[in-house]
Chain A
Amino acid sequence: MNSGTLRTIRTLEDWSRGGSWLHRRDPRFKLLSALLLLAAIALAPARDSRGLLLSSAAAVSILFIASVSAALPPLSILARGWVVLPFTGVFALLAWLEGDPHRAAALLAKSWLSAVAVVLLMAVTPLERLLAGMQSLGVPPLLASVVQFVWRYLHVALDQLRRMQVARLARGGERRFVFAAATVAVLFASSAARAERVHRALLARGGEARFLLLQPLKTRPADLGLLGGALLSAALLMASGGWL
């Protein structure tokens, strides 16, 4: 689980540094477009299985085309959405056992497609640019910088946890509840000490905790094109679900 988390982080970091048309768009417009698409997926009225199939197919093709145009591996993007399966699977199974297979299929399709849409957003947008965009849309600066800090030190904390686990295995690797508690306590104490060092380092640089972008956010006419495309896609999704 631990190494899987690090791998997810690295993959998204790699993907989000591309230079395609989608990568270069204003993060605020990308966020709005993603939300539009998510809302369309959530609201697409899949009353019968034909509507569900059509709207899901439309969503898959939109996401597929978008990933190809961003020079990303479309199948890996689609596959990443399956992490919702453990949660969704249980509820889909329940719905199916209750004699409602259509609802089960709708739950699976909608939660998977929504997850893929978020993966695609993060695959074309570096997190710091997205956060800067969110900040200019009204997210409090303190919250945005805490997210930045969590993101930056997550690697460090996970790395330390891995080293501690390797050390524990090297000493015999006995699994006990109190040892796990001690691991977490040590991780807490060293994180708190690290935070104090980080703060002193910030003071030494004479600055407060602010995160700057290399290239400032700028809205171009093409960003409106992206939003228009998202609107069209959302309309297509709703229409193929049998809304019109």
Chain B
Amino acid sequence: MGSSEMHIPDGFLAPPVWGALWVVSAPAVVVATRRAQCDLDESKVPMMGVLGAFVFAAQMVNFPLGAGTSGHLLGGALLAAALGPAPAIVVMTAILTLQALIFQDGGLLALGANLFNMALAGTLAGYWPWRALAGGRFNRIGLFAGGFCSVLVCALLALSELSVSGVRFGSAAMSLALGVFLVNAVLEGLITLAVATSLEAIRPGWLKAKAGAGSPALLLLFAFATVLASVGFLFASTHPDGVEHLARMTGLISHERRFFQAPLADYEIALSGSVWIRKAIAGLTGLLLAAATCLALARWIGRWRRA
């Protein structure tokens, strides 16, 4: 159960998939860097770097689970709780870049996808539940939920990107992978909680939420939407036919065809009529639909609550 099993190497993702995820991740990382720069004073640059080295080293500590097995910390949720979301995204980006360059943990072309899964979605999914529940009676639940959601979201996104790219899983392998990832997510939650508890004993006050990040309910909803969206992505990518069917029923497919056919026509010929392009498009459309729905719902409920 190494931490490296969620780092996608090159050669797995289809070019449209890693290309699209680079297009999403690169600006998102730049925005996070700007926010980190605005939020932080100068002293935080060494702090981010040295804590990044800490996470790197901490990922190598074996947590014995009995029966000769052991687990590892991934650290996204812990980092987000210690530094805040935007600096945590920058630090995770730095770590993933080094892992890809120096240790071949994840490919360079696939780095956009790995950044999307682990630095962006994973960090935010780890931050929101903790931020919503921190400080109060449910502090411990928040820590556990942060670790759990962060790894679960990373894993679901990685699995759906792989299946959109045409890496075929049998249903047995898929349920095995989901089981392993669920165990890993619980483990990350437990490790995050245990480390935070120890840390509170040594140096109290490190993981303290700052005020003014939005209402707890809204944050929880964001976290829930992220998890739900990644479950939706996985479903959409493994059942593109189902999404296509849904799209046809709602009349979306005719637009989709006209919209996508022209730019991709050459590509289809170049790859001599591969079916997965169409499947990938259907999967990606489903993916975006699910995400948009969840986020719109979260926004709307937030506005409604405030009104």
Contact = CB atoms under 8 A, between A and B. Distances in A.
Interface of A: 1-2, 5, 8-9, 12, 34-35, 38-39, 41-43, 45, 47, 80-81, 83-84, 86-88, 91, 94-95, 97-98, 100, 106-107, 109-115, 118-119, 121-122, 127, 130, 140, 142-143, 145-154, 156-158, 160-161, 175-178, 180-189, 191-192, 194-196, 198-199, 202, 208-209
Contacts of A195: 46-47, 49-51
Contact residues on B (Cβ < 8 Å of other chain), bracket = 35 or more
A154 B56 contact: yes
Most buried by B among A87, A130, A160, A188: A188
B195 to A, nearest CB: 5
A43 to B, nearest CB: 6
A185 B206 CA distance: 11
**Majority secondary structure, B binding face:** helix
User: Which residue, B49, B78, B93, B198, has most C-beta atoms of chain A within 10 A?
Assistant: B49
Contacts of A152: 49, 53
B170 interface: yes
Interface in B1-36: 2, 4-5, 7-12, 15, 18, 29-30, 33-34, 36
A114 B109 CA distance: 9
Contacts of B51: 188, 191-192, 195
A149 B42 CA distance: 14
B36 A122 contact: no
A189 B45 contact: no
Contact of A199 (B46, B107, B173, B201): B46
B115 to A, nearest CB: 11
B199 A185 contact: yes
Interface string B175-194: 00000000000000011001
A196 B42 CA distance: 11
A106 B191 CA distance: 37
A98 B171 CA distance: 11
Given A42-B10, A110-B11, A188-B54, A84 B65 contact: no
Contacts of B60: 1-2, 5, 158, 161
Contacts of A145: 45, 49
B198 A184 contact: yes
Contacts, number: 243
B53 A9 contact: no
Contacts of A113: 11
Nearest to A97: B170
Nearest to A140: B33
Nearest to A85: B9
A192 B94 CA distance: 17
Contact of B9 (A87, A95, A202): A87
B22 to A, nearest CB: 11
A153 B53 contact: yes
A84 B5 CA distance: 10
Interface in B156-212: 162, 167-170, 173, 190-191, 194-199, 201-203, 206
Contact of A192 (B7, B15, B47): B47
Contact of A94 (B5, B91, B104, B169): B169
B213 interface: no
Nearest to B2: A86
Contacts of B136: none
B33 to A, nearest CB: 4
B4 A86 contact: yes
Given A107-B11, A142-B45, A189-B199, A177 B65 contact: yes
Given A110-B10, A146-B91, A177-B65, A198 B46 contact: yes
Lowest 5 CB-CB distances: which A-B pairs, in order?
A149-B49, A110-B11, A114-B10, A185-B198, A181-B194
B197 A8 contact: no
B63 A146 contact: no
Contacts of A47: 272
A35 B108 contact: yes
A42 B109 contact: yes
A80 to B, nearest CB: 7
Contacts of A196: 43, 47
B49 A186 contact: no
Contact of A202 (B37, B46, B191): B46
Contacts of A121: 101
Contacts of A146: 45, 48-49, 52, 90-91, 94
Contact of B64 (A87, A112, A175): A175
Contacts of B199: 185, 188-189
B170 A94 contact: yes
Contacts of B65: 177
